[in-house]
């Protein structure tokens, strides 16, 4: 009887240990999907594992939205460079957007120890400003985009989700599906 009790208790301990190890592995900052150098630099292993797990889920969505936003910026830059050359910023962007972007760049330049957003003033615009720039230059984009309301819908949808993630919120599965759907629609219409 004592052997059976001992075997039962020992199996229970082994099971508990295996489950603990699995849970720790799931919650660990060490994952082949994470850049381990960056994870070490930002001390990811010191943070609450549950928060890390939830943030990692949103990091995937953020990656898609950030890549999309940078792709749209590149698309706008290429189209306006083609049409207006090096003076595209002055010729194609409203004074309000130019001043806001220039002011942001000046403010960021005061903090010399931090990496700037980029070389182009376009990098200092808000995501939604891209819609205004496209709209203000519609004849240069129409052949690729067809309808300005569609562009507004795509960018405003992604901007809303982007803002939730950037302020440490979490998107529901329906929101994640919507993000994927509008990105796929843009890529089918415009290309990568």
Tokens linked to 162: 């982007």
Question: Once rounded to an integer, what is the mean pLDDT over residues 146-165?
Answer: 96
Q: In the prediction, which pLDDT does 24 show?
A: 47
9-18 exposure pattern, b = at least 16 Cβ within 10 A, e = fewer: eeeeeeeeee
Q: For residue 120, is pLDDT > 80? A: yes
Closest CA to 159 of 137, 135, 130, 181: 130
- Give the span between the Cα atoms of 142 and 9, in whole angstroms: 72
Question: pLDDT tens across 45-103, in order?
Answer: 899 998 888 888 899 999 999 999 999 999 999 999 999 999 999 999 999 999 999 99
Total-model pTM:
0.78
d(CA 156, CA 131): 9
The per-residue pLDDT for range 126-151, each reduced to its tens digit, is 999 999 999 999 999 999 998 999 99
> Quick one: pLDDT band at residue 191, thresholds 50, 70, 90?
confident
């Amino acid at each position: 009887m004592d052997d059976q009790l001992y075997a039962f208790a020992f199996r229970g301990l082994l099971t508990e240990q295996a489950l603990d190890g699995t849970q720790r592995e799931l919650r660990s900052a060490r994952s082949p999907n994470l850049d381990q150098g960056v994870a070490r630099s930002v001390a990811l292993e010191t943070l609450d594992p549950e928060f890390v797990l939830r943030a990692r889920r949103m990091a995937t969505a953020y990656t898609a939205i950030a890549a999309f936003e940078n792709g749209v910026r590149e698309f706008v830059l290429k189209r306006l460079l083609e049409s207006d050359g090096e003076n595209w910023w002055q010729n194609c962007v409203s004074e309000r957007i130019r001043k806001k972007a220039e002011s942001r760049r000046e403010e960021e330049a005061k903090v010399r120890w931090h990496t700037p957003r980029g070389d182009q003033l376009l990098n200092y615009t808000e995501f939604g400003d891209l819609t205004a720039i496209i709209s203000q230059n519609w004849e240069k984009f129409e052949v690729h985009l067809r309808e300005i309301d569609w562009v507004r819908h795509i960018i405003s949808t992604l901007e809303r989700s982007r803002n939730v993630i950037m302020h440490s919120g979490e998107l529901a599965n329906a929101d994640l599906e919507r993000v994927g759907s509008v990105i796929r629609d843009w890529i089918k219409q415009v290309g990568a």
